[in-house]
Amino acid sequence: MPPPPPRRALLAPLLRLRAFSSLAHHPPLPPPPRRHQFVAADAITGRGGGGNPLDPAQLLRDDPVAITASLWVSSFRAQPTAAAPPPPSLSPFLSRLELWVLAYQKAYADETGSYLPRSSIPASTLSSLLALRNAVLDARFRFGNRLTPFLRSPRAAAAAAQDPATLSKRKLRALLTTPGPAPFQDRVVQELLLLLLEPVYEARFSPKSFAFRPGRSPHAAIRTIRRSFAPYLWYIKGDLSPLLHSPDPALVVGALIRDVRDKKVVDLVRSALLTPPVTARPGDEDAAKKKKKRKYQKKKVLPEGEPKPDPYWLQTFFGFAPEEALTQPDWGHCGVLSPLLANVCLDELDKWMEEKIKELYRPSKSDVVGGEDGVEQGNTSWPEFVPTSGPDKTRKVDYIRFGGHFLIGVRGPRADAAVLRKQLVEFCDQRFRIKLDNESLPIEHITKGIMFLDHVLCRRVVYPTLRYTATGGKIISEKGVGTLLSVTASLKQCIKQFRKLEFLKGDREPDPQPCFRMFHATQAHTNAQMNKLLLTMAEWYRYADNRKKVVNFCSYIIRGSLAKLYAAKYKLRSRAKVYKIASRNLSRPLKDKKGQSPEYHNLLRMGLVDSIDGLQYTRMSMVPDPDYTPLPSGWRPDHEKILLEYIKLTDQQTLDEQRSCIREEGLITPQDYISMLVWSYKKNAVLLPSFKENDHKVSTEDLDSDTDELGDEEIGNLDHIDSPKKSD
């Protein structure tokens, strides 16, 4: 079959038009017109033509999600180029009370753990939100204000809402010097700034960064490495975490001003960075530790009906988080805005590395990695295949960043990696004021194994299925046909984390030890918590080549730890005794009287006991296989693909090209087909006779058709019946 014509590719977006029907009902909103600015100004000053300008209900006109969606669409429509105009002003959006309500709903959900509908927000809260908005627009808002807040937390007690003038000096001093969570109104302002700045920068960020961004998870970074980093021999690992711990406010504001030219937004971010947070004094820390030890000395046995504390499996899994994901930026009073600002600063490194990738690219016509146009010519169905290298092969560089950690792959001689490292040290010193050296930026070969995101990048030789053997069965030829980039989970790192969490003891052979933190929980609750941990571990190592081995090892350690815990709790002698009573997956109940109890199935049928879930993955065959699905070329998150497709469908030039292509192909769109049907119906309805004549004609035609189907005898009978009526 010959390949389709190139212009037929223009028809593909029309086939997916129905997927964007929801967006079609909400077309992209333009920037708020000037009338909204006048309304905001009237609301601030208390002046207005009609109605009460201080009534929040009159300012809630539009859907806040539609306003935010319009900002996303406008940001992605204007792709950042050398001649691209600056982003639109954010002050009109800052004055929209609808966005303040949406920010309040997000902060309320984080504070209480439940969603608050817009219709359930009381009128007093809306008035407080309006006062907070006016204070921000008038530059009267200050971060960390605990004395006179404009908006109070929904969990604030009545005693906490007292007038500061009525408090004593001791209480005022304790209120101002005691460290604690940020005021609730600060979190609302942070959420609003995140709503405004995130769409502006997501359209400008480099696709090489994968941390603190929607849709770009660690799994996406691992799959990108598996696909794109196969040809590289030398790797450079770097750590810019000091920038995430203690940033320079001037550096952050300077990076922000390059893309956002709105003074009010920049002043808010500068105030959040420069306002010092309340920290505890050294003596207060020691006193708090003593009180904490004294408070938790006595163990509490939880009854059956009492809810359990924070899940132990969640705390345990955070201990397994990779080193690159442990560092979460938290700058002053920026709160949830800190990760975005960290990416704003590090985006300069991403842009610099993109220029270096183009500068150091040396294509070779005889290489399968890339030709003169830079397009990969290798096997796309087997992207982890490692091609051969040499002085006459293509030289290229690739880069990926996750948070403050980055990985650079170099294809070519080691001297190219050394030159790039020297330039990188100079760039970080001049731009970020971070001193790096050769030890902090090691150059490692792929054969030694590169650790990144708790996975090891190495090479695996592929052997043919048929091997030449001698008469005695000894292999005399074992030639490899190629090498693959292997992405495996680090078993040593897993054992190290288990030791840190006190699941293991010993240095040589891993021996499980009981997790006494679950001593006072029931067997059903303990098994359920550990199953959540195992399911999370299996999902985390989803794209690792040794997924079965690592998850089965984690199951063995947890199962042995629980067996020792149950042996100590129910006064059994060994793990073997526990396995004999509770079976291999610990799904049968254990009793403290020598393990003897009524038949469990009978008690379960009568509803006298709760069902106990057995531990997952007790055998390696039960662990799911690794996911080797290749990442498509030019991958983007789902929300970005939907936005770009919607922008393409709303472009008039694209629609004209699609219509011309449809006419050339002799096709017709569903909309035109429906229009033709409607027009034909209207045209035929005009040409038809009147309603009564039409009904009489239809009835006559039906009667004629019925008589045609009757025989001669039946027609004669009908005439005989009708003859008396005619004589009368």
- Give the C-alpha separation, 409 to 321, whole Å: 24
Q: Give me the pLDDT at residue 190, please.
A: 92
Nearest to 567 by CA among 558, 582, 577: 577
Q: What is the mean pLDDT of residues 36-56?
A: 43
Q: Does the structure show a pLDDT above 60 at 80? A: no
Span 261-299, pLDDT tens digits: 888 999 999 999 988 777 655 455 555 455 544 444 455
Q: List all residues 6 or more positions away from 635 whose beta carbon is below 8 Å from its beta carbon.
A: 220, 224
- Give the C-alpha separation, 185 to 141, whole Å: 10
Nearest to 399 by CA among 241, 237, 242: 237
Q: Are strands 234-239 and 443-445 parallel, antiparallel or unpaired?
A: antiparallel
Which two structure tokens, joined as six digits, stand for 214? 């929607």
Which two structure tokens, joined as six digits, stand for 268? 């808010």
Using a pLDDT cut of 70, give the percent of the chain over it.
67
Q: Which stretch of 464-478, 565-579, 655-669 has the lowest confidence by average pLDDT?
A: 464-478
Q: Are strands 396-402 and 405-411 parallel, antiparallel or unpaired?
A: antiparallel
Residue 691: exposure state from Cβ atoms within 10 A (0-12, 13-18, ≥19): exposed
Q: What is the mean pLDDT of residues 369-378?
A: 49
Q: Give me the pLDDT at residue 317, please.
A: 73
Q: What is the mean pLDDT of residues 160-180?
A: 65
**Beta bridge pairs of residue 459:** 485
Q: Where are the domains of the chain?
A: 64-189, 208-278+308-367+380-489, 491-622, 640-676
Q: pLDDT band at 241, cuts 50/70/90?
A: confident
Q: Does the structure show a pLDDT above 60 at 697? A: no
Q: Give me the pLDDT at residue 6, please.
A: 41
- Give the C-alpha separation, 146 to 128, whole Å: 15
Q: Which stretch of 200-204, 205-209, 220-224, 361-365 has the lowest confidence by average pLDDT?
A: 361-365
Q: Give me the pLDDT at residue 517, please.
A: 81
Q: Give me the pLDDT at residue 243, please.
A: 85
| Tokens 């049907």, located at residue | 677
What's the angle, vertex CA 529, arms to CA 525 and CA 532, rounded to 5?
140
First to last CA, the chain: 78
CB 483 within 8 A of CB 462: yes
Q: List all residues 6 or more positions away from 172 whose beta carbon is below 8 Å from its beta carbon.
A: 147, 164
Q: pLDDT band at 159, cuts 50/70/90?
A: very low
Predicted TM-score of the model (pTM) = 0.76
Question: What is 92-149 written as a DSSP string?
Answer: HHHT-HHHHHHHHHHHHHHHHSS---GGGS-HHHHHHHHHHHHHHHTT---TT--SS-
Q: Give me the amino acid identity at 158.
A: A
Which two structure tokens, joined as six digits, stand for 495? 């054992």
Q: Does the structure show a pLDDT above 50 at 17? A: no
Name which residue leads in pLDDT, 478 or 336: 336
Nearest to 482 by CA among 376, 623, 388, 343: 388
Q: Does the structure show a pLDDT above 70 at 47? A: no
- In terms of average pLDDT, the best of 625-629, 651-655, 710-714 is 625-629
Q: Does the structure show a pLDDT above 90 at 191? A: yes
Name which residue leads in pLDDT, 719 or 435: 435
Q: What is the mean pLDDT of residues 568-576?
A: 87
- Give the C-alpha separation, 545 to 222, whole Å: 12
Q: What is the mean pLDDT of residues 125-133?
A: 91
| Tokens 């002799």, located at residue | 666
Q: Which stretch of 283-297, 488-502, 707-721 has the lowest confidence by average pLDDT?
A: 707-721
- Give the C-alpha separation, 658 to 12, whole Å: 9
- Give the C-alpha separation, 709 to 151, whole Å: 84
Q: Does the structure show a pLDDT above 50 at 648? A: yes
Q: Is 137 left (phi over 0), alpha (psi -120 to 50) or beta?
A: alpha
- Give the C-alpha separation, 449 to 589, whole Å: 45
Q: Does the structure show a pLDDT above 90 at 443? A: yes
Question: What is 15-43 written as a DSSP string?
Answer: HTGGGGHHHHHSPPPPSP-HHHHHHHHHH
Q: What is the mean pLDDT of residues 604-622?
A: 76
Q: Give me the pLDDT at residue 505, please.
A: 78
- In terms of average pLDDT, the best of 3-17, 96-110, 138-152 is 96-110
Q: pLDDT band at 660, cuts 50/70/90?
A: confident
Q: Does the structure show a pLDDT above 60 at 711? A: no
Q: Which stretch of 55-64, 152-161, 578-587 has the lowest confidence by average pLDDT?
A: 152-161
- Give the C-alpha separation, 651 to 135, whole Å: 40
Number of Cα atoms under 13 Å in the Cβ half of residue 373? 3
Q: Are strands 475-477 and 468-469 parallel, antiparallel or unpaired?
A: antiparallel
Q: pLDDT band at 344, cuts 50/70/90?
A: very high
Average pLDDT score, the chain? 76
Q: List all residues 6 or more positions away from 391 whose beta carbon is below 8 Å from its beta carbon.
A: 413
Q: Give me the pLDDT at residue 279, please.
A: 64
For residue 416, give the 3-state DSSP assignment. helix
Q: What is the mean pLDDT of residues 535-556?
A: 92
Q: pLDDT band at 389, cuts 50/70/90?
A: low
Q: Does the structure show a pLDDT above 60 at 728? A: no
Q: Give me the pLDDT at residue 199, please.
A: 92
Residue 437: exposure state from Cβ atoms within 10 A (0-12, 13-18, ≥19): exposed
Q: pLDDT band at 349, cuts 50/70/90?
A: very high
Q: Give me the pLDDT at residue 220, please.
A: 92
Instruction: Give alpha helix (H) positions in 405-522.
Output: 414-431, 491-500
Residue 316: which H helix or E strand, with range?
helix 312-319
Q: Which stretch of 192-196, 404-408, 434-438 has the lowest confidence by average pLDDT?
A: 434-438
Q: Give me the pLDDT at residue 673, please.
A: 83
